[in-house]
Structure 1
Amino acid sequence: MGAAPQLVRPVKTVVDGVVRQVEVPPLVAPSVRGALGDIPFDNAREAPEAVVLARKQPDGSWEDVTAARFAAEVLAVAKGLIAEGLRPGDRLAIMARTTYEWTLLDFAGWAAGLVTVPVYPTASAHQARWIIHDSGAVACAVEDTAQARLISGERAALPGLVHLWEFDTGALARLVKAGEHIPDALVHERRALCSPDTVATLVYTSGTTGQPKGCVLTHGNFLAEVDNAVELLHPVFRAVSKEPASTLLFLPLAHVFGRMVAIGCLRARVRLGHAPSIATEDLLADLAGFRPTFLLAIPYVLEKVYNTARATAEKMGRGSSFDRAARIARTLGEAVEGRAPGLGLRAARALYDPLVYRRIRTALGGHVKYVISGGSPLGRRLATFYTGAGIEVFEGYGLTETTGASTVTPPQAPRLGTVGWPLPGTAVRIADDGEVLLRGRHVFAGYWNSDPAHGPYVSYAGEPGLWLATGDIGELDADGYLTITGRKKDLIITSGGKNVAPAPLEDWLRAHPLVGQCMVVGDNRPYITALITLEPEGLAHWRRMRKREQVPLRELVRDEELLADLQRAVDEANQLVSRAESIRRFAVLPTDFTEARGHLTPSLKLRRAAIARDYEREIEGLYRR
């Protein structure tokens, strides 16, 4: 257990009194040899009895997996892949939920010199076919029969796909059997062929418009990312008490955030478990059984935990008490930035800890000390609440093209509501139009099957080197903290010429218990409006509390009391912005935005054009006098 690294402050570039660029030097020297496939074997050699994974058993218990055992399993499966004729550089697609088998096959693929290609388990036949075809995958592993049928139905359009394996029918065991005659040395020879510059994976962007594009990420991209993240987030990844660090991963491994976490945990020898279902009941049961010390989450999950706790308190007649506790928690959360709580606030914390805060921690397994949030902005309200409830929050920002995080909250200098400073080894610049530009060893090598000259890179002011143009709009404060205010292409320009970033309003409203999704509208319109969908669990609770269980949903969306509750939420959100940027009117939709209906990407981002097309009539109605 080493000492925590010293705080490394960013180097700032100030132009006309405004911070335009910040850069943090790397905490770890870049890897000049080796690759991700070496990690299990390095762990087995250096700490064979260290627990690096845990596997859920049929009875709900968790079986620990040592470094030595995992390396042996990786070796056996890698030998099977070689026995099946897969050659170095071949692409292996994996379509499954977040499971132990996913991570095992990922590392086995790397040990065999392959390039792994994740496919979302919820992907449509068209999406899966596109990714397998575009990547040129020669093999695909799926989790269950339904996915096997989906891929089988596309085989005629995938002449290059030679193998289709299914986890649930024992595919990995058969690979192990097939590889029994392959010498171990052949796997080690394959590993030796890989270097930091070798392609490790093609991660396809979910794409809010058009076909997904495969981001080419190298072994060196991941090593630069995880090595600096592990060193920076020392309290999270290193045991700082007698309790070893552990996490339960429920993010999809098809998303770069979840993948980066899995690799980082194996690299740091953090006990890693997999939770395939994020249904509230399933996830809470897995958290209670696994008892992680930290979690990686998207804001949606943290909103669900908060809203479930609020609904439970209201059902018990303690809604106002919960709200007081939440206000106190947010005030306590502010204290991390230097405003120490007074005697009265400390007394209130002691009062509400067993009543509210401990219950929140228990819902997350009881041992969680840290949460790393990414994927979309968490917002200051939830960040300060969880901090005040005794869970330290680290918020990050990044893209598939940057192998995950490019900025993160520095542990010793948090500033809630921002996405922190650049990850060590990263530079962040704000272009003249407000676009966030990034540079670092974790930035990808380009898009698969695309001309590198047409990649998303820009030079800046004649300086050497290229920057990744993110498409996000942001700003740096005087101390170098980055805040993301919206997407460049999502920026709304009203007919009066007012520029409006929809993300802050949408993020605030999505945190409300009744709101499932929200899309702000107003491009070339006289004022801002919004489409709102209802969150099923929050709505069910609202129905019970107000005796509306039997009212059909299409009638309920016009219920005056429901609309009044939503109007109060909109009024709160409008306090974030000026009058010209505020939501004047909104429509409540009787159906939710879903991936299946083409309104959300697999990572739950809005497909704005599709929503605007399908709800054109509702939008037009918001602008009729």
Structure 2
Amino acid sequence: MREFSLPALYEVPADGNLTDLIRRNAALHPAAAVISRKRNGRWEDVTAAAFLDEVQDAAKGLIAAGIRPGDRIGLMSRTRYEWTLLDFAVWSAGAVTVPVYETSSPEQIAWILGDSGTVACLAESDAHLAAIESVRDRLPALGRVWQIERGAVEQLRAKGAGVPDTEVAERGRIATADSPATIVYTSGTTGRPKGCVLTHRNFFAECGNIVERLRPLFRTGHSSVLLFLPLAHVFGRLVEVASVLAPIRLGHVADVKNLTDELASFRPTMVLGVPRVFEKVYNAARAKAQADGKGKIFDKAADTAIAYSRALDTAGGPSMGLRLKHKVFDRLVYGKLRAVLGGRATHAISGGAPLGERLGHFYRGIGFTVLEGYGLTESCAATAFNPWDRQKIGTVGQPLPGSVVRIADDGEVLLHGEHVFTGYWNNPAATAEALSDGWFHTGDIGTLDEDGYLAITGRKKEIIVTAGGKNVAPAVIEDRIRAHALVAECMVVGDGRPFVGALVTLDEEFLPRWIADHGKPAGATVAELRTDPDLLVAVQRAVDDGNAAVSKAESVRKFRILPVQFTEDSGHLTPSLKLKRNVVAKDFADEIEAIYTS
């Protein structure tokens, strides 16, 4: 057993709640632009004083509508300004926010709103409203549903016009640090989602210590972040609350299809995202360079960036020759890549899935450091992250200050601290299984080095045991294979089988470019190409790269290219883009069988 901890850098308030933050900002920085919102194609700043007024007006409307302290209020929307506004309004009314992914099915909506006992809901669009109404007969506690795109904020302001300021002030003080702030339902990779109860204390401990440990990235009056993660996911909420706590300027993006344009117009100083975002930026840049006949230059630039970053971790640092090459490529390539990410950002925080060591070195090498972290809904997002001044690429960093990470005798990662959730809503059996003597059992397998840096090597329940008795953690090889531009998703199989195999799906954005470059018929589908020799060779290269990270017994011997995608709509991915392995294994049982019989 091994454990590591760091002293807390932020003192969690003895009582009080998250609404104290917006009142503090309005008092100390009334004219500061704490949030920017997009209107008519332009970013408009919202001052701390104006944001407080808007929040309190919406909270008055909720109070006038009969919302009582402790009531659960659903919030189903894409990432937009109103999400953050209404989140703080719910808290200011003394209630509890229950996020619902805007892509959720009626069945999922019925479960989340029903299990949590939601009494009212805020929904973004006609489609969201229709989905909620389609299951209303299964939601006896649900009352009013307001629609954001049809004036929910304005309706609440009008309804609450007669509520005195003193009443909303009293409501805002009802919740204590240990009161529930939100119930966030887990992605449900292995069954029905469980509602994680996160308190105001959890968010204070989480966001306060992150902001203090990364203070150079959270500079009031200078720093800014563009939030494009779903706010129904706890990582998105971390960004929201940490930005308000710091405070720094926060922007929202609902449509990630235009993310590069939004980054260019907002120009954040910091980016927070998931590895797939950084993979796509790299793959798109490489594909464009190849299309322009500059593929070899890009590849040399990428190799130089990686070598330069690796050399930064050595005693002597980069050689003079490497520095000169790096300087040349900075003018030719790296500066353009930084411009795609907004032009001002020097750092990013990545979570939700492993980033991959090669990609981490590439980005640091181009002057854009991606700090990888690790966390779960139950740990209120990040429970470990790389510090800005002592990054160790290939790890998920050191524990959150004020918390403890322990590695159990069987390799499981255990967590302790004020950021750890209090339990699952209405599920004492699951709570008792996950929490023992104050320690949360993550289900992840990991290691701690001598400096307290954590590396995640797999999931306890996802360990594959081959017929030969070899234990295989899928995450390592899957992440390496998935890093290839041509690969969208990869799932390793082989439990009880003679060797390890893999199911692979192809990237829909990159495939047409590969088809054109290799002289295949325009418009050819994956189903038509999945046995094409050239395509098999290309995917084999990705598999070979993955195999290089593991032993021979753990390596993928055979793979099958699937003619479809793993998506949330198909039921194979959770809203946070994690594989539902049991569903994939069931739906593609014939493909798995073909790996071992062909």
Please indicate the TM-score interval, normalised by the length of the shorter structure: over 0.9
Query: What is aligned with 1:9?
Result: none
Mapped to 2, the partners of 1:315 and 1:472 lie a distance apart of 41
SS of match in other structure, 1:517? strand
Mapped to 1, the partners of 2:120 and 2:595 lie a distance apart of 50
Query: What is aligned with 2:270?
Result: 294
Query: What is aligned with 1:502?
Result: 474
Query: What is aligned with 1:144?
Result: 125
Q: In the alignment, is residue 46 of structure 1 matched against residue 24 of structure 2?
A: no
Misfit runs of 4+, over 4 Å: none
Selected match of 1:593 from 554, 561, 566:
566
Query: What is aligned with 1:11?
Result: none
CA contact (8 A) 1:397 1:407 kept: yes
Deviation per CA, 1:140-177, whole angstroms, max 9, x where unpaired? 11111011111111111111110111111111101000
SS of match in other structure, 2:256? coil
Mapped to 2, the partners of 1:427 and 1:128 lie a distance apart of 35
Mapped to 2, the partners of 1:238 and 1:381 lie a distance apart of 30
CA contact (8 A) 1:38 1:111 kept: no
RMSD in angstroms over aligned alpha carbons? Answer: 1.2
CA contact (8 A) 1:395 1:418 kept: yes
SS of match in other structure, 2:19? helix
Q: In the alignment, is residue 378 of structure 1 matched against residue 350 of structure 2?
A: no
* C-alpha deviation, 1:335, in angstroms: 3.6
CA contact (8 A) 1:50 1:269 kept: no
Mapped to 2, the partners of 1:247 and 1:551 lie a distance apart of 40
Deviation per CA, 1:428-469, whole angstroms, max 9, x where unpaired? 11111110000000000000002278434455xxxxx42100
Selected match of 1:29 from 11, 25, 31:
11
Q: Which AA in structure 1 matches 2:587? A: D
Selected match of 1:474 from 446, 460, 484:
446
Deviation per CA, 1:338-367, whole angstroms, max 9, x where unpaired? 441111111111111122111111111111
Mapped to 2, the partners of 1:56 and 1:335 lie a distance apart of 42
Alignment of 1:170-181 (within 5 A): 170-181=151-162
TM-score, scaled relative to structure 2: 0.98
Deviation per CA, 1:544-566, whole angstroms, max 9, x where unpaired? 22232143331111111111011
Moved more, 497-506 or 335-344: 335-344
Query: What is aligned with 1:116?
Result: 97
Query: What is aligned with 1:408?
Result: 385
Go from structure 1 to structure 2 and tell me whether the alpha carbon gap of 1:287 and 1:447 turns closer, same or farther (over 3 Å shift).
Answer: same
Q: Which AA in structure 2 matches 1:132? A: L
Q: Which AA in structure 2 matches 1:422? A: P
Deviation per CA, 1:91-147, whole angstroms, max 9, x where unpaired? 110000000000000000001101000000000010011000001011111111011
Mapped to 2, the partners of 1:437 and 1:381 lie a distance apart of 28
Go from structure 1 to structure 2 and tell me whether the alpha carbon gap of 1:458 and 1:37 turns closer, same or farther (over 3 Å shift).
Answer: closer
CA contact (8 A) 1:521 1:531 kept: yes
Mapped to 2, the partners of 1:451 and 1:111 lie a distance apart of 29
SS of match in other structure, 1:622? helix
Deviation per CA, 1:378-424, whole angstroms, max 9, x where unpaired? 11111111001101221111110010110010222211010011010
CA contact (8 A) 1:37 1:110 kept: yes
Selected match of 1:168 from 144, 149, 153:
149
Selected match of 1:347 from 320, 324, 328:
324
Contiguous gaps of at least 5 residues in structure 2: none
Alignment of 1:403-552 (within 5 A): 403-451=380-428, 454-457=431-434, 459=436, 465-548=437-520, 549-552=522-525
Selected match of 1:262 from 240, 243, 254:
240
Go from structure 1 to structure 2 and tell me whether the alpha carbon gap of 1:70 and 1:550 turns closer, same or farther (over 3 Å shift).
Answer: closer
* C-alpha deviation, 1:72, in angstroms: 0.5
Mapped to 2, the partners of 1:379 and 1:245 lie a distance apart of 27
Selected match of 1:556 from 501, 513, 529:
529
Q: Which AA in structure 2 matches 1:24? A: L
Percent same amino acid at aligned positions? 53
Go from structure 1 to structure 2 and tell me whether the alpha carbon gap of 1:331 and 1:491 turns closer, same or farther (over 3 Å shift).
Answer: same
Deviation per CA, 1:527-572, whole angstroms, max 9, x where unpaired? 0000000001110111122232143331111111111011111111
CA contact (8 A) 2:512 2:523 kept: no
Deviation per CA, 1:42-81, whole angstroms, max 9, x where unpaired? 10011101110000112x2100111001001001000000
SS of match in other structure, 1:536? coil
Alignment of 1:102-251 (within 5 A): 102-238=83-219, 244-251=222-229
Mapped to 2, the partners of 1:425 and 1:527 lie a distance apart of 43
CA contact (8 A) 1:116 1:202 kept: yes
Alignment of 1:27-106 (within 5 A): 27-58=9-40, 60-106=41-87
SS of match in other structure, 1:161? coil
Query: What is aligned with 1:389?
Result: 366
Mapped to 2, the partners of 1:51 and 1:155 lie a distance apart of 40
SS of match in other structure, 2:420? coil
Query: What is aligned with 1:307?
Result: 283
SS of match in other structure, 2:330? helix
CA contact (8 A) 1:337 1:414 kept: no
Mapped to 2, the partners of 1:356 and 1:179 lie a distance apart of 54
* C-alpha deviation, 1:478, in angstroms: 2.3
Mapped to 2, the partners of 1:67 and 1:342 lie a distance apart of 48
SS of match in other structure, 2:442? strand
Deviation per CA, 1:475-496, whole angstroms, max 9, x where unpaired? 1122221100011111111010
* C-alpha deviation, 1:502, in angstroms: 0.4
* C-alpha deviation, 1:193, in angstroms: 1.1
* C-alpha deviation, 1:238, in angstroms: 1.6
Q: Which AA in structure 1 matches 2:21? A: I
Query: What is aligned with 1:12?
Result: none
Mapped to 2, the partners of 1:559 and 1:550 lie a distance apart of 15
Q: In the alignment, is residue 580 of structure 1 matched against residue 553 of structure 2?
A: yes
Mapped to 2, the partners of 1:131 and 1:458 lie a distance apart of 22
Mapped to 2, the partners of 1:531 and 1:199 lie a distance apart of 41
Mapped to 1, the partners of 2:539 and 2:222 lie a distance apart of 44
* C-alpha deviation, 1:291, in angstroms: 0.5
Contiguous gaps of at least 5 residues in structure 1: 1-14, 460-464
Mapped to 2, the partners of 1:595 and 1:393 lie a distance apart of 27
Mapped to 2, the partners of 1:173 and 1:93 lie a distance apart of 18
Mapped to 2, the partners of 1:216 and 1:335 lie a distance apart of 44
CA contact (8 A) 1:51 1:269 kept: no
Q: Which AA in structure 2 matches 1:524? A: G
SS of match in other structure, 2:462? coil
Mapped to 1, the partners of 2:396 and 2:4 lie a distance apart of 13
Q: Which AA in structure 2 matches 1:491? A: I
Mapped to 2, the partners of 1:264 and 1:40 lie a distance apart of 12
Q: Which AA in structure 2 matches 1:248? A: L
* C-alpha deviation, 1:618, in angstroms: 0.7
- Number of residues of Structure 1 aligned to a counterpart in Structure 2: 596
Deviation per CA, 1:193-246, whole angstroms, max 9, x where unpaired? 11101110000001102110000000000001000000001121126xxx8100
* C-alpha deviation, 1:523, in angstroms: 0.5
CA contact (8 A) 1:208 1:607 kept: yes
SS of match in other structure, 2:510? helix
